[in-house]
Structure 1
Amino acid sequence: MRASLTRRVCAAALLLTSTLTPAVAAAAQPGDPAPSSERAAHARLLGEKIVPYKLDFQGTTVGGLSGLDRNRCTGEYVFISDDRSYLQPARFYTAKLDVDAGGVHSVDFTGTHAFLQPDGSVYPSPSIGDGKAVDPEEIRVDPRSCHYWWAQEGDRPATAGPPVIQPSIQYASPTGAYLGRLRLPANYEITTEDRGPRRNQAIEAITFGDRGRVLTSAIEGPLLQDGPVPDLEHGALVRVTKQTREGRMLGQFAYPIEKIFAASDPNSPWGPDTGVPSILAFPDDPDRYLVLERTWVAGSGYKIRLFDATTRGATDVRAVDSLVAGTPVTPMRKTLVADFDTLGLSTVDNTEGMTWGPALPSGERTLILVSDDNFADDAVTQIVALAVR
């Protein structure tokens, strides 16, 4: 999701449970607090590092980093840029991160490659208007082959004329060569004016689980047929889908995102911006995920929260056409792991990506996160390391 480029100063507000729209509340009954897992994760800050603004690397502009993952084959990390080929062709970066119990000591970029289309060409800028542009948002390293799987949320044009660009999950070689794509659920498709993902709220989150056998994806915001976006009074439900790596549907579930934490500055032209930019499977539990929720409000800044969530016990909604049509739905349960306002960071910005890092001597696991600076000089590319138990 592309948030406003106005400077954001994060305001504190802690919300532990979701309140949904009245129609959904009647079905899902989310007014009761989500049951806490007896083994819910806990997180503490290890450290952070700020990447220089518009760092030049191999003739490209480093920025817009909206997803990352660790490559077990090389020990390096891969970052995806959400530059839609405006500055340079849509691309990814590899980097070495020196992270341990003492914090984030260094971030050294080692390579960059453009994502290639099936014919071997790079993706053009959306300004060309040929329907081939992409909006890269998330990247994962295949646990089996160490190839790259990446998600792009396409485009639902705001006005008549420009072509619809469908969201996709593709896989590529370590040099960006196109290798194929995953067959997506039918309700992920941008169709009519009142169905499918909203503009800039399609697929932003994917993760491998169950030793690489399952690929889970999440829509950033509610589908049009699933009700309105969150406001000050109500949260919303977004769809989380489990598939085999061949594309067979295993289940689809409703994840409850929080209501908006503060009123917008009435003088701002920008409305609130909220959703799920990243999910991450727990290595030892195929039903359990870390879910990142990111909200921006004009005049209040960012609210970044991390939740421990499970599909266990949630309703499989793959056959439910609309989540506000009266069908009873039990959403995924979730428990707050961290509110970034309380971690002691130098700033809280547009955090969009996360991945597991190395284990610590304490028995904790590192969690590495990155913020997307939108190539704006009033934002930052921030690498954060947490210890998660």
Structure 2
Amino acid sequence: MITAMRAPLMRRSLAAALFLSALAPVAVAADPQQSVAEDPRPARPAAHARLLGETTVPHKTEFRGTTVGGLSGIDRDRCTGEYVFLSDDRSFLQPARFYTAKVHVDAEGVHAVRFTGTRPLRGPDGAVYPSPAADAAHAVDPEEIRVDPLTCRYWWAQEGDRPTAADAPLVQPSLQYAARSGAYRGQFRLPTNYAITRDDRGPRRNQSLEAFTFGSRGRVVTSAVEGPLFQDGPVPDTRHGALVRVTQQTRTGRMLGQYAYPIEKIFAESDPDSPWGPDTGVPSVLAFPDDPHRFLVLERTWVAGSGYKIRLYDTTTRGATDIRTVRSLADREDVRPMRKKLVADFHTLGLSTVDNTEGMTWGPRLPTGERTLLVVSDDNFDKEAVTQIAALAIR
């Protein structure tokens, strides 16, 4: 059992006072031939957040013959009341897998996390997924997991691979259905512009499908690519942000709309002595229970020498241009992006550390009327990183 730390009350009050609502830049008018989701209602105030508490999972915790780590996805299972976590181990340590756990969360924070099970994910042939070193063409890169609100089966996303070697196989991103045992049960039809290609179109390497969520009580699936498609312009830098695509579909795959979400510019210059450039994108989205057009969007940025910046936004597709037929956003100044407001900069919450937060899900409602939000960080199996499970109160 993993015990937790409570957020000091002073920090909670300070965090609540520091939340600023930051509107996205105003876009020019949309092309009249583009479909726009108009919002006839008055603008709603942005959500606000405060820290309830946090806990950490010790580095390389062993559980039933597996190494707990790389937790990049989390969701609550309404059929059991437990939580499911997805590990992004690409079968290097053990086969690609998920965990189930009991997480005690209330108004005082995260009290304990007790893992109850783990299962490997299996492919259409019934076998576990191989490591890229053994079979690159059939390997997967798990990033997000959701529990189907209608069936309580697991849906999980993997972002595929655009290898640097010209003769290496492409691995397409996918969104799969799995039984609670991890057995393969099918695959969701993704938008065609999510496909990785041999030319400079589609998602960049490690910037593909990570985020998806169920809305409208399970009838709508909303997904997002992590970074801008090649044809949609360059990645963010310290002067400019970028646009990433967010897609809404029915659970059978029929397209309902696609929208441009504006991600922030890089917050600091990289250490010039580091071989690694900055990394930023959208690792998770979460639909609001009462509004099919409204989402929490997590933006995660890492800069060598400066570490992580994690920001949470309240955003909507209402009023945004439907870009499903727009081949490239690079030269389209008439596209109206999704509007967003800042809910939390994690550096203001009073967390013990701000690390590689990648997953989020709704938890129980509090007596105050607030809804809990659980977030989890991916430690990449690195002893210098941390597996952190934190609970926020969202009003």
Q: Cα distance, 1:72 vs. partner?
A: 0.2
Q: Is 2:272 the counterpart of 1:272?
A: no
- Contact 2:21–2:46, Cα closer than 8 Å, also in 1: no
Residue matched to 2:154: 148
Aligned residue identity for 1:132: H
Runs of 4 or more, structure 1, over 4 Å off, are 17-20, 25-28
Shift of the alpha carbon at 1:130?
4.5
Does the CA contact (< 8 Å) of 2:24 and 2:341 recur in 1? no
* 1:266 CA displacement: 0.7
Shift of 1:27: 8.3
- Displacement of 1:18 after TM fit? 5.4
Partner of 1:97: 103
Contact 1:150 1:170 in 2 (8 A): yes
Q: Kindly, what percent of the aligned residue pairs are identical?
A: 73
Deviation at 1:167, TM superposition (A): 0.1
Q: Deviations over 1:204-234 (max 9, x none)?
A: 0010000100000000000000000000000
Q: Aligned partner of 1:384: which letter?
A: A
Structure 2 equivalent of residue 251 of structure 1: 257
1: CA distance, partners of 2:114 / 2:366: 21
**Length-normalised TM-score, structure 2:** 0.90
- For residues 15 and 190 of structure 1, what CA distance do their matches in structure 2 show? 36
Distance 1:373 1:49 in 2: 14
Q: Does 1:215 align with 2:221?
A: yes
How many residues align? The count is 368
SS of 2:193 mapped into structure 1: helix
- Equivalent positions of 1:148-227 (< 5 A) are 148-227=154-233
Q: Which amino acid aligns with 1:138?
A: E
Deviations 1:335-365 (A, max 9, x none): 0000000000000000000000000001000
Deviations 1:239-286 (A, max 9, x none): 000011100000000000000001111111110000000000000000
**TM-fit CA distance, 1:191:** 1.1
- Residue aligning to 2:371: 365
Aligned to 2:14: none
Letter matched to residue 361 of structure 1: P
Shift, 1:128, TM fit: 1.6
State the alpha-carbon separation in 2 of the partners of residues 249 and 38 from structure 1. 27
Are the equivalent residues in 2 in contact too, given 1:18–1:234 (CA < 8 A)?
no
Letter in 2 for 1:103: G
Q: Deviations over 1:273-303 (max 9, x none)?
A: 0000000000000000000000000111100
CA distance in 1 between partners of 2:241 and 2:24 (Å): 6
Indicate the residue corresponding to 1:283 in structure 2: 289
- Structure 1 distance, partners of 2:214, 2:82, is 18
Q: What pairs with 1:12-31 in structure 2 (closer than 5 Å)?
A: 16=22
Distance of 1:27 and 1:160 partners within structure 2 = 41
Task: For 1:221, give the aligned amino acid.
Answer: G
Unaligned runs of 5+ in 2: 1-19, 31-41
CA contact (8 A) 1:19 1:234 kept: no
Q: Does 1:59 align with 2:29?
A: no
| Separation (CA, whole Å) in 1 of partners of 2:21 and 2:380 | 26
State the AA in 1 paired with 2:238: L
Report the alpha carbon displacement of residue 324 of structure 1 after superposing the two structures with TM.
1.2
Structure 1: which 5+ residue stretches go unaligned? 1-13, 29-35
1:192 and 1:323 map into 2 onto residues whose CA distance is 20
Moved more, 149-158 or 319-328: 319-328
Q: Secondary structure at the match of 1:129?
A: helix
Alpha-carbon distance in 1 for matches of 2:207, 2:62: 29
- Give the superposition deviation at 1:158: 1.3
What SS is found at the alignment partner of 1:187?
A: helix
Q: TM-score, normalised by structure 1?
A: 0.92
Whichever residue aligns with residue 91 of structure 1, its letter is: R
SS in 1 for 2:149: coil
Cα deviation digits, residues 291-345 of structure 1 (max 9, x gap): 0000000111100000000000000000000001336100000000000000000
Q: 2:331 aligns with which of 325, 328, 349?
A: 325
Q: What residue is the counterpart of 1:75 in the other structure?
A: 81
What is the CA distance between 1:26 and its match in structure 2? Answer: 7.6
